[in-house]
Amino acid sequence: FFSCLFFFDFFVVFRIMNGGSIFALATIVMWTFVEFTTATKSSVMFPMDRYFKSSFVDPTAPPWTKFFIFSNGTIVYQDANRYELHYDYASAELEDFSGVTAQQFDAITLYNAGRKALLGAIMYAPQSVQAEEVAVQFVSLDPLDATFLLRSISIVQNSVSCSPSNCDLKFLYFPTFELSSSIADIEGALTNAGIEVSSVARWTVSSTVYSDGWAFGALKHVPPDQIQQQFESGLLTAQDILLTDGVPAEIPPLAGLISLAPSTPNSHVTILAKTFGLPFIYAGDPEERRRVVDAVGQRVVLRVLSPQQFMNTWLPPPMKLVTFEEAGIDAAMHDILKKRKMPKPIPIQPMQRAESYSAPLASLRPVDVVRFGGKSSNFGVLFASIPSHTVQPSGLGFSFNIWMDFMKTTVQGTRMTLGDWIKQKLQGLMVWPADVQQLKVALEQIQDVIKDKDKSPFPADVENAILSALQDKNYGFNSTARLRFRSSTNVEDTSTFSGAGLYDSNSGCLADDLDADDEGPSVCQPEEPKEKGVLRAVRRTLASFYAINAVLARIQYGVNEDDVGMALCVHHNFPDEAELANGVVFVTIDGPRRQTVVSIVSQPKDNSVTNPEAGVVPETATLSVSSWSKPDLDQLSTKFMQNPRNATIDPHSSLLPVGRQVMEMQLYRDVAVYCVEAVAAFVNFTKGSMKWPEEKLVYDLEYKYLAPGQAVKPAGGLVIKQVRPVPQPEPERGQPILINEPMLFETLQGEHTGCSDTATEQECLSQSKAQLFAETRNMELSEAALQTTIFTKAHLKWKDNCTVHEADALDLPGYRHKFIRASNSSVDQFHIDAGRGAEAVTITLPNIPLELELGANPILFLNEIGKWQNGHLQYTFRGETTRLSLPMPRDKLKTFTASEPGYDISVHLYWTPGPSGPSAGWTYPLSKWVNATISTPTTSFTICSWWAMTYFPGHHNFWNIFYLEPFLDPTVSNEDLKALADAGIRGFMVVDQTLGSMKTITPIPWGSTPACSLGNRYPQTLCNATDTSRPTQPPPCPPAQSPVQINLNFRGILQDFKGCPPCTGASSPNSAPPAMSSPSPDMRVPTPDHNGNGPQINLIFANMFDGLCPPCPAKGPES
C-alpha cells in the first residue's frame, strides 16, 4: 500500500511539472497528510525510516522502532516517535487490543500460553559505527524455542527494505534480560541460520571515563573472577594497573583500572576511584583497546581525562597510555613519578564514647560521626529534610560503645582481650606496601573469632543493650520482619573518606533470638533451615571491619587503628521482591560554574547498581539547573521541580527491551528534588549556611522505589536510604610532567593555515609543508629545565621545489635553543638548504605551563604543552608561520569532482569528526588523503603522495581548494610527467564551491611566478620529467580501505617452493623468494564494498625462503 502511495505521489508530481492542475497539487497534500499521520505500516527502510526514533545530536545512539508479529505471520510496525511503548500504540491504533487494560495486554503478549502477538523491537547500527547491521529483539517472559525464534526473525528480515538496493544487511539477535538465560539452548541453531547473538555493547565504540587520574606501574590483565585471588597471592599488587574484561563488585587497592566492558558510573568501585583520584576507564575505542592489549606485561604511564568542553575534536583523548620503553623513562623519572603518587594520610576524627549504646537515627547529625559513625549520623539529615521519603520507622544507630566494650571481652583460650589479641595478630603487618598473603591469613583468623560467639562472647551489657533497643516500641521494629545492620564507621561516609563497598551489611531476625532456642527454621524466613538472628548479623557486620580490602585502604592512607572502629546503622530490610527500581544518585553542586547536576543511575527491580554484574549497562538520567546568580541552596529543589535543563535518559538499561525505561522522567524528577533537598540540608548542617558554595561539592545518595506493604516503608514509593559526601582528591600542586611519546607532526591543512598572503594562501601552504617526527625528554616543566631543548629527536622533512628533503634538525647547521620567559616559549632554530642557500627554520612551543592549574592532571605530552595551540607546533619558514599538527581522527570519506574541457579530476580524502555538542558551525580540516585521479587531453593517472596534494578549506567548507602537484609523487610514471611537461603544466588548482556548485580546474603553467611571498620555486630544470631514478612502472596508490582481521591458512606452503634459481653473472646472495603458485582456496580475501571501503591487506613474503638457498659466489666488482 505504501509503495503504491509513493508511486502515486511521484506520478502526480510529474503531472504538475508538466502542466498539471491545482487539483493535482491538492491531491499531493491530501495523500502526504494521510501518509505522515498514519502510525502503522508493515515494512521499514534501511538505513533511515521515519518510524524510527533516532537522535540527530548523538551519532552513537542506534535508531529503533517496535513491532508486533501476529500468529498468521503478519508484522506491524509502530511509529516510535509517536508511541514509545507497545501498549500505548496497541490500545490506540490496533483494533484487536482496543479497550484492554495494561495487565490484560501483558497476559496475551508476554507469555507463550494464549499469546495473541509477539512483541519486538528493531534497531539499526548507529551512524558512528557505519555498519550495515540490523538487530532484532523480542519481549517475552517465557523462553522462545529456536524454531519459533527463527521464524519470527525471518519475518522481520523480509519486512526490511534496503536503499541502495545492493546493500548487504547483517541481522543480529539481541536477547533481552529475561530471554538471555535460555540463549545457550538455541544459540547453535541461530548460528547455523547465520544469525549472530550479540548485544547493544557491540555498537559501543567510544570510551567512558568513570574517574579521572593518572598512574604508573605494570599493566596486568586479570579476568574479573580471579582479581581478588591473584591479589591475595601476590601476582597482582597495589602498584599495578589492572586490565580486566569486566569490573566486579569489589576490587582491591590498585594503581589504576581499565575495563574492556562497560561498568556503572556510580558503583562502589567508581566512588572509591573518584575519592582517591585513581584512573578508571572503559576502553571502548577499538584503537585504544588494541594499544592497551599490546602493552600488557609492560610498565606503563596511564592518564585518564574527562572531556570538559562541548567540542571534543581538539581535546586530548580520554585515555593516554605509553610504555616505559617507548617513552624512555629512566630511574630518575621513575623516582619523580613515585614521589608524586605517594598516598597522603587521611585526616580522621577519632571515635569517642557516647552517652548511650543507641539513639534514634532521626536525632543524629553529621557532627555525631565521632560517636555513631558516618552512615548513622548522615541518616539524620534525611529525616530532617525529607522525612516522608526515607525509611519508616526511623531506625536506630548503635554507638561505638558496642565496639569499645566488645573489644574488652576475653578471647577464649587466652588471657587477652579481643582488642589486644587483634593487635598481636597484626603486629608488623600494618605497613605499606603490605605483605598481602600474611595479612590475609591474620585477618581471616580475626574475622573467624569475631563471628564465633563462643570464641568471643558479647559482654552481657552489650548483648542486653542490643536486644533491648531492638525491642523498644519507640523504634517500631517488627520482630518477625528482617532487620538490616549496616556498617557505620568513622572511616567511611565522611568528608575525608568514602569507604564505599569496603564493609558489609547483614540482615537478621529478632524473633530468632527471642524464641529461646537455636533451632531453625528462621521465623522471618521459613524457607531458611537455620536461624538468622540479629546477634549473628551484628557479629558478621563487625567482622567486616577486618575485611582485607578495608584494612589495606586504611594502611595505604595512614589511618591509626586505635582511632577507628565499627558502629551500626539499623532499619527494616528492603525485600528484594518489593523493589520496583533502585539506584545511586550523584548530586554535584559546581560552585564556580553555578550549576547543579543530578545524575541518577538505575536498574529495574533489585538488580544491583552499586555492585553490578560485569558488562551490564544501567540506565542514567541526568537533570541539571544553572543560574547567573548564586541562589541559596534551599531554592534548588524548586528549580528542579519547575524546569530542569537537559533532562535526558541515556543510556537505557541493558536489562530492559528497547524503548523501555526503568522509571518515567517524572519519577526521576521527584528523585532529583528529594536528593537536592537532602544535600542542601547536609551542607547546612556541615557548613552552617545555605549560601551558594564557592567550591565544587559532590554527594552520593541511594534510592529504592518500593511496592506498598513493606515494613521498611508501608506506603511504598520512593525511599532515599543514604546520603554521604564524595571526598574530592586533594588537587595536585607543583610542576607539570612532560612524558615522551614518539609523535609525527605534519602541516595542518585546515581553514586557518597561518600563511599571511590570503590571496594565494593555498600555494603558500603548499610550499610551507613539512613533517616533524619528534621525541622529548621526560621532565618536570620548569624554567631551569627549559633552558635546554625538550627534544631528544627532531627529524624534519621539508619541501624544495619538486624534491622532499629530510634531516635531523638537532644536527643541522646553526642550531640553537632559547627559552623566552615573557611568553614561556621554547624556541629551536636551525638552517636548511632549500635551493637558495641556508635558510632559517624555527619551531616554537609558546605558553608552556610551568605550574599546575588547580585540580589539573600533571601528565602532559608534547602536543598538549602549549595552552592555546590545540595540539599544534608553530613552524616558521621564509617568514611564514604555519602549524604542525598530529594527524587527526578519520571520519567522513569525501569526494570532490570537477570537469573542464579536456580535464577531469576527482579528489578523495577524509575529513575529521565534527563537534560532539552544540556548535555555531564547523570547518572540517583534512584528516587523511586517499588519492586524486587526473585526466588530461594526453594522459590519465592517480596521485596519492601527501606531499603532492594540499587542501585549503574555506569557511564552513563553503568552498574547497585543492593544490595538486604530480611531480612530487613518486608513484606517477615518467611517461605521465613528460606528457604534463610537454603541455607546459606543472600542477593543477581545483576549486569546488559548495554554495553555487561552481567547480573549476586551473592548470598551473611552468614559469608562473606565484604572488605568495615565497617567490618562484618551480624552475622547470629542477623538476626533470625524465628523471631516470623514477620507475618506469611505479607502484600504484593504495586503495581507501578499512583494516580487517584476516586469518591466513599456510598449510602446505612449502609445496609452492619451486627450487633455488640459478646463479647469474653478477648476483647478490641468492635469497630472492622463488615463484609461488596461486594462493590456496583457504586464503579468502574480502573485497571492498560499493563505497570502496573494505579490507586493507599487506602480505609480505619477502625473505620468506631465506636460508633455503645457498648464496651465489661473487663474480666481480659489479656484484
pLDDT digits (tens, 9 = 90+) for 105-162: 999 999 999 999 999 999 998 877 778 899 999 999 899 999 999 999 999 999 999 8
Q: H/E element holding 562?
A: none
Q: Is residue 792 within 8 Å of 776, Cβ to Cβ?
A: yes
For residues 996 and 998, what is the distance between their CA atoms, to the nearest angstrom? 6
> Are the C-beta atoms of residues 268 and 610 closer than 8 Å to each other?
yes
pLDDT band at 958 (very low <50, low <70, confident <90, very high): confident
pLDDT of res. 591: 84
Average pLDDT over residues 399-418: 96
User: Which residue reads 584476516 in cell numbers?
Assistant: 1046
How far, in Å, CA of 453 to CA of 699, rounded? Answer: 38
Q: Work out the widest C-alpha separation in the chain, in whole angstroms.
A: 111
1010's grid cell: 606565484
Q: What is the pLDDT of residue 1083?
A: 30
Which tops the pLDDT comparison, 1019 or 787?
Answer: 787
pLDDT band at 1105 (very low <50, low <70, confident <90, very high): very low
Q: What percent of the chain has pLDDT over 70?
A: 81
Rounded CA separation 80/577 (Å): 31
State the amino acid at position 140 in one-letter form.
S
Round to the nearest angstrom and report the end-to-end CA distance of the chain.
79
Cβ neighbour number for residue 707 with a 10 Å cutoff? 13
Q: Structure pTM? A: 0.74
Q: Is residue 1109 a contact partner of residue 1060, using CB atoms and an 8 Å limit?
A: yes
Q: How many CB atoms lie within 10 A of CB 917?
A: 11
Q: What count of residues does the chain have?
A: 1119
- What is the spatial distance between Cα 757 and Cα 591, in angstroms, rounded to a whole number? 46
- Each residue of 249-276: pLDDT tens digit? 788 899 999 998 887 777 778 888 887 8
CA distances from 669 to 36, 638, 719, 837 (A): 33, 11, 14, 72
Q: For 223, how many CA atoms within 13 A lie in the half-sphere containing its CB?
A: 2
Q: Are strands 160-162 and 133-139 parallel, antiparallel or unpaired?
A: unpaired
- In this model, does residue 280 exceed pLDDT 80? yes
Check pLDDT > 90 for residue 722: yes
pLDDT digits (tens, 9 = 90+) for 1008-1064: 433 333 333 333 333 444 444 444 444 566 554 443 333 333 333 333 344 455 554
- 914 vs 697: which has the higher pLDDT: 697
Helices and strands, number each (H, E), in the chain: 24, 47
Q: Which helix (H) or strand (E) holds 514?
A: helix 510-514
**Residue 302 CB neighbour total at 10 angstroms:** 25
Residues 6+ apart with CB under 8 A from 913: 313, 889, 891
Beta strands in 334-442 (DSSP E): 358-360, 396-398
- Residue 566 pairs in a beta bridge with 489
DSSP string, 421-481: HHHHHHTTT-SSS--HHHHHHHHHHHHHHHH-TTTSPPPHHHHHHHHHHHH-TTTT--TTS
**Residue with cell string 502511495:** 5
What CA–CA distance (Å, rounded) separates 253 from 822? 44
743 closest CA partner among 293, 309, 312, 320:
320
d(CA 477, CA 559): 36
